Structure 1
Amino acid sequence: MREVIITREPVGLYKILKFEGMVSSGGEAKSVIAEGMVLVNGEKETRKRKKIVSGDIIEFNNETIQIRLK
C-alpha cells in the first residue's frame, strides 16, 4: 500500500485518481468511478465527487493508496 500525502481536505475522489496517475485524465477517473471500479474503505464508490479525507483507503486496478493529511 502506498501512502499519499494531501495538504488540505477534503479532496474529490476523481482528483486523487488523476493526480496520483492511476488514470490518464479526469474524464477517465469519473468514468471508472461511475462504473463502480473504485473502492473507498473497502466499499464500491460511484460518486465522482466523493470527499476523501485523511485515513481513507482507495483501491483501483490492483493498486491501493492510503490518504494522509500533511
Structure 2
Amino acid sequence: MAHDIPITDDSIRLGQFLKLSSLIDSGSDAKAAIAEGLVAVNGDVELRRGRQLRPGDTVSIGGSSARVTQA
C-alpha cells in the first residue's frame, strides 16, 4: 500500500520525491537506485532522475511505495 506524500507545487522531480517520501536516504542513493533501474513510476521502470511527478503518480522501490498528493 502506498503512503500519501503531499507536495505544495504542481510537480516534483523524482529524485526529490524519493528523499521527501523517505524511500531513499540521500540524493546520491536516489541517483544510484534510479540508474540501476530499481525505481518504478506508475508501474514502469524510470531511469530519469529529473522525471516530473504530479499528484496521483505512484513511486515504488523494493517493497515500498509512495503516492504524490496535492497539499
Normalising by structure 2, we get a TM-score of: 0.91
- Runs of 4+, deviation exceeding 3 Å: none
Percentage of identical aligned residues: 30
Unaligned runs of 5+ in 1: none
Q: Work out the number of aligned pairs and report it.
A: 70
Unaligned runs of 5+ in 2: none
Separation (CA, whole Å) in 2 of partners of 1:5 and 1:42? 20
Normalising by structure 1, we get a TM-score of: 0.92
* RMSD, aligned α-carbons: 0.9
Separation (CA, whole Å) in 2 of partners of 1:55 and 1:10? 11
Separation (CA, whole Å) in 1 of partners of 2:22 and 2:55? 19
